[in-house]
Chains A and B, each alone.
Chain A
Amino acid sequence: MADTYYNPEDLAKFGKVTDWQEELGKKFFDYYGSVFKDGALTAREKSLIALAVAHTIQCPYCIDAYTKDTIKKGCEEEEMMEAVHVATAIRGGASLVHGVQMMNKANEMLM
């Protein structure tokens, strides 16, 4: 076991998950590959979405992978940071919108 929970080198070993369960692992990677192909959304747009999601789930592997991928796909620094702000706005908004729940509850409790 490594000294830290996350090790950058583990990202390159992702494919090895199939060693312990080949069928499901393979299905996942096939599916993953298809998801990121050009479709109704371009591969570039998908990469920016992935970058935003990576920040939402705060996965260091995904942040590493999609920072690299968006740069390779020619995305600008501003586009990348805006994607992170989208994630932040949704995340922040998700907390804040619950303020309504709080207000409902408080209004119900108080005279």
Chain B
Amino acid sequence: MKLTKSLKAQAHELANIERQLGILSDAESIGVAPFSSKMAEIGMLPLKPTALDIFQVNVGKMCNQVCKHCHVDAGPDRKEIMTKETMQMCLDALEGTSISTVDLTGGAPEMNPHFRWFVEKLSEMKKNILVRCNLTIIVANKKYYDLPDFFKKHNVEVVSSLPYFSARRTDAQRGEGVFEKSIRALTMLNAVGYGVEGSGLTLNLVYNPSGAFLPDSQGTLEAQFKKKLRDGYGISFNNLFAITNLPISRFLDYLVNTGKYETYMEELVNAFNPEAALGVMCRNTLSVGWDGHLYDCDFNQMLDLKLAGNAPNHIRDFNLKSLNERDIILNQHCYGCTAGAGSSCGGETI
């Protein structure tokens, strides 16, 4: 079935966060141990940050795509967009910290009207800038055609989703025609040097499973992606990040609709890996929402689980010390980060 609207625009019951949290907590009644008790068993409760190194900003939920698995419930109908004032607050917060990396996500972050201004400012601050670019935005409209050059100018690291190296599985997850457009965009990125050996311009791809299963070895998948994209389309890239789909938002809807929720949770729980738990990304990441609220990660942001305890929960009150002292909020969806080789915005964690 083709998806054209976000859950919110459909007034779908899962657009209600309470409903999502309700399903997740039902996990206990289907015999899934609370994630926090699992963490307690391995002596990791409360879960504490290590040191804040990645400042992830979700600049808005608007997107030119409506992917079936999207944890943001993004789409063209989502109007939540970060203002320039909030971006300025982010810049103010970053000033004087040693946080090295700023990770821009969305939606399609490039659709925020202040996106380029924000990148320029971050670039002046000499931050490593990462943009989670969905690829198709580059070819969506003439005004985006120069994005590869813009990224290059600011030495932005481009991280792009491509769930598979064929149209069938990519389009089934991300929408009809997405594969072909993604290939065109990748060709444009390669043309300015992205993902090309020796250019110093990084293009990483993100793989996530096209269904209710865990990703296999990142290395094995990367080798296949490299070969297939090179042989089939002459495309090169740096690394492949394998990411597990977390059971929230549209992916949760897919799981519930197809009757796969219970078995998927079971698979995640059975694959719980203490080593992966050590490396969960919330330990070194802060997530800023489009309206300036602060979260432990982009997933907690989408479940509106704001920072716990005394930690400031809005960017205007940013305070590194209390952030580093906070307890991270955990829930059943966290099993997605600790399964197998672990999963984060940078792929496997072990």
**A positions within 8 Å CB-CB of B:** 42-44, 68, 71-74, 76-77
Closest B-chain residue to A42, C-beta based?
Answer: B220
Closest A-chain residue to B209, C-beta based?
Answer: A72
Q: Are the C-beta atoms of B168 and A74 separated by less than 8 Å?
A: no
Question: What would be 16 A-B contacts, judged by CB atoms less than 8 Å apart?
Answer: A42-B220, A44-B220, A44-B224, A68-B213, A71-B211, A72-B214, A72-B215, A72-B216, A73-B220, A73-B221, A74-B164, A74-B216, A74-B221, A74-B224, A76-B166, A77-B168
Closest B-chain residue to A73, C-beta based?
Answer: B216
Closest A-chain residue to B263, C-beta based?
Answer: A12
Across chains A and B, the number of contacting residue pairs, with CB separation under 8 Å, is 24
User: CA separation between A100 and B66, bound complex, in Å?
Assistant: 59
Please give 13 more A-B residue pairs, beta carbons under 8 A apart, in addition to A44-B220, A76-B166: A42-B220, A43-B220, A72-B209, A72-B213, A72-B215, A72-B216, A73-B220, A74-B164, A74-B216, A74-B220, A74-B221, A74-B224, A74-B225
User: CA separation between A43 and B224, bound complex, in Å?
Assistant: 13
Closest A-chain residue to B242, C-beta based?
Answer: A74
User: CA separation between A43 and B215, bound complex, in Å?
Assistant: 14
Sorting the interface of chain B by its residue count into under 10, 10 to 19, 20 to 34 or 35 or more gives: 10 to 19
Given the complex, which residues of A lie within 8 Å of B164, measured CB to CB?
74
User: CA separation between A72 and B209, bound complex, in Å?
Assistant: 8
Closest A-chain residue to B225, C-beta based?
Answer: A74
User: CA separation between A19 and B166, bound complex, in Å?
Assistant: 44
Given the complex, which residues of A lie within 8 Å of B220, measured CB to CB?
42-44, 73-74
Given the complex, which residues of B lie within 8 Å of A74, measured CB to CB?
164, 216, 220-221, 224-225
Given the complex, which residues of B lie within 8 Å of A71, measured CB to CB?
211, 213
Closest B-chain residue to A38, C-beta based?
Answer: B220
User: CA separation between A43 and B168, bound complex, in Å?
Assistant: 24
User: CA separation between A43 and B216, bound complex, in Å?
Assistant: 11
As a 0/1 sequence over residues 68 to 101 of chain B, the CB contacts with chain A under 8 angstroms (1 = contact) are: 0000000000000000000000000000000000
Given the complex, which residues of B lie within 8 Å of A73, measured CB to CB?
216, 220-221
Closest B-chain residue to A47, C-beta based?
Answer: B216
Shortest CB-to-CB span from B104 to chain A, Å, is 28
Shortest CB-to-CB span from A64 to chain B, Å, is 12
CB neighbors of A among B195-249 (8 A): 209, 211, 213-217, 220-221, 224-225
Closest B-chain residue to A78, C-beta based?
Answer: B166
Given the complex, which residues of B lie within 8 Å of A77, measured CB to CB?
168
Given the complex, which residues of A lie within 8 Å of B168, measured CB to CB?
77
Given the complex, which residues of A lie within 8 Å of B221, measured CB to CB?
73-74
Given the complex, which residues of A lie within 8 Å of B217, measured CB to CB?
43
Shortest CB-to-CB span from B255 to chain A, Å, is 16
User: CA separation between A43 and B209, bound complex, in Å?
Assistant: 18
